Chain A
Amino acid sequence: MKFRRLLSHIVLLLGALLMAFPFLWMIASSLMTEIETKTITASGGSLWALLKALVPAKLMVGNYVEAWTKAPFARYFLNTIFVSLAVTGCVLITSVLAGYTFGRLQFKGKTIIFGIFMATMMVPFEVILIPNSLLIQRLGLQNTYPALVLPWAANVFSIFLLKQFFQSVPSDYFDAAQIDGCSHWQFLWRVAVPMVKPALITVAIFAFLGSWNSLLWPLIVTDDPGKRVLQVGLSTFLEEEKSMTHLLMAACVFTTAPIVALYLILQRWFIEGVAGVGLKG
């Protein structure tokens, strides 16, 4: 048993090292000089030389300043924060309302409408990519924030998740609230919503993360650098400064850091959210 435990630790530790290595490598190389990044391959002659080449001789913190000023990263950050928060807020409102309706209200055509909603989940994003971008152009929304927010403002999976949670709120609560003269609207926001808080946090995290990390859609609906979000800005930077690896890695570090920090703080919610999705799905 003791041996097995040791073996498990060895395997897990090796795995964790492999998982973490790209992050360590990103940080290490973001602190190198340009020359250092260009002589890695050549140092493969001996193990010692290679290991030495992995560590920057002097920590070039200035790389961060240089990368930050080479492209309008502040603008990218502001755009991304604004778009991600707007998407998250919209998703929360639309999913609470629709989830509550499907979970707790009775009305004609409910099954059919819910079925249509669920069916849209089957459609891969590529299929609606082209017509959606034509639509955005036709509406004159190319290069605007609404183009980045509106197509993501309602999410069927979140609606489904909240429906499941609202259904599990006991009806007694509603009966009691009704006797106290509480309307549906008040019941929803004052009683039901606080009761499904874990689900709301999951929905919010997924909406925020999805929006923050999205590339393909923003790439298609924005070509004005002033409207670029972080991922588009970063991938453009990766092309424009292709040979300046140390700067690229510095940019990767500061664009990744906020989301990693958020993850480390809200870890429990991230992981439980994913686990819950697996069980409910």
Chain B
Amino acid sequence: MKGQTDRMVPSRRDRFRPFLYLLPAAVLIGVFSIFPLVYGFVVSLCRWGIVFERYVGLGNYYRAVLDPDFRQSLIVTIYYVIGTVPAGLILSYIIACLLFQKLRARGMYRTIYFLPYVTSTVAAAAVWRWFFDPNQGLANAGLALLGLDGIGWVQEPRSIFQVFASLAGLQLDWGGPSVALLCVIVFSIWQSLGFNVVIFLAGLSAVPAEVHEAALIDGASGWRLARYVTIPMISPTIFFLVIVSVIRAFQAFNQIYVMIGGHPMSEARNVTMFIFTKFYSSGQVGYGSAVAFLLFVIILALTMAQMKLLAKVTHY
């Protein structure tokens, strides 16, 4: 089907047709995707407040590498990726496997699990923010029910481990992800679960039924069936989900903006939020651009590394 599809005698009009058809998309992508990339790189090489001041070469990049706030935001981003991706994928895989059986009300379950994905992050995060509100939230009501003191939840800069240690009357120096970030992580897993489930279901239904039956006849079941048959068979789906989830997790913004606020504490401020505040509140356009490019390089390198690694373990 890939062969020659245009068999008319090539006239002038035919030669220009492809370019004419491509024009709208090419202009838009050129102006709003490719040009900004070049422009952004130029900006990142300049001292640029509200307007251009002067060329500083890699100055903004040096500054970023030495900036403890940027490093902190990178650590928050990494915590967020580690917190959301594996847990989110494992949970959705389990749900997808359960939904893959011939069950009554399957459609209804699927509808409910997918619902958070279509809901706007702002409205959904607002409910969760209230749920985790330190003064009026349900989460602290739950703790009170267990006879525990309330904690700050979305306003809690202490790490999970520090909170646990303080329950035992200990003090812990080492941080780890803050409770505030954990709230955002829980929310994000909840929100993206349905998307992952639907993709997993599509992957599972693409596995030929005979493969499963053969494995069952050979006496494989439960964990062994999953480990040696199902998971290898759907590894391209897992591959796709890992890459997409990691990229998305690196770019999280809305959930932090709504749950923690537009000026989040540094314990819950990821790189996207850092760029936003540098640009939007402090008017440090050049520096913000440099950080954005660093993030780009990190995401690109990570995606490449994942592709290499996952290609090795993926069976096609």
Contact = CB atoms under 8 A, between A and B. Distances in A.
Asked if chains A and B come from one complex, the reply is: yes
B137 A40 contact: yes
Contacts of B133: 41, 245
Contacts of B37: 120, 123, 127-128, 131
Contacts of A159: 25
A216 B262 CA distance: 11
Given A105-B6, A267-B111, A127 B126 contact: no
B101 A19 contact: no
Q: Is the interface of B mostly helix, strand, loop or mixed?
A: helix
Contacts of B24: 93-94, 97-98, 153-154
Contacts of B295: 124, 126-127
A247 B269 CA distance: 28
B296 A94 contact: no
Interface stretch (A55-63, A65-73, A110-118, A194-202): A110-118
A64 interface: no
A19 B116 contact: yes
Given A107-B18, A132-B36, A216-B254, A170 B98 contact: no
A203 B95 CA distance: 27
A30 to B, nearest CB: 10
A29 B136 CA distance: 12
Contacts of B292: 124, 126-127, 129-130
Contacts of B250: 124
A78 interface: no
Q: Is the interface of A mostly helix, strand, loop or mixed?
A: helix
Contacts of B130: 29, 245, 248-249
B251 A238 contact: no
Interface residues of B, number: 110
A19 B112 contact: yes
B312 interface: no
A205 to B, nearest CB: 9
Interface of B: 1-8, 15, 17-19, 21-22, 24-26, 28-29, 31-37, 39-40, 43, 94-95, 98-99, 101, 103-104, 108-124, 126-131, 133, 135-138, 140-145, 150, 190, 193-195, 198-199, 201-203, 206, 237, 240-241, 244, 247, 250-251, 253-254, 257-258, 261-262, 271-272, 275-276, 279-280, 285, 288-289, 292-293, 295-296, 299-300, 303
Interface of A: 5, 8-9, 11-12, 15-16, 18-20, 22-23, 25-26, 29, 37-38, 40-47, 50, 53-54, 93-95, 97-98, 100-101, 104-107, 110, 113, 116-117, 120, 122-135, 150-151, 153-154, 156, 159, 167-168, 170-171, 174-175, 178, 184, 209, 212-213, 215-216, 219-220, 230-231, 234-235, 238-239, 245, 248-249, 252, 255-256, 259-260, 263-264, 267, 270-271, 274-279, 281
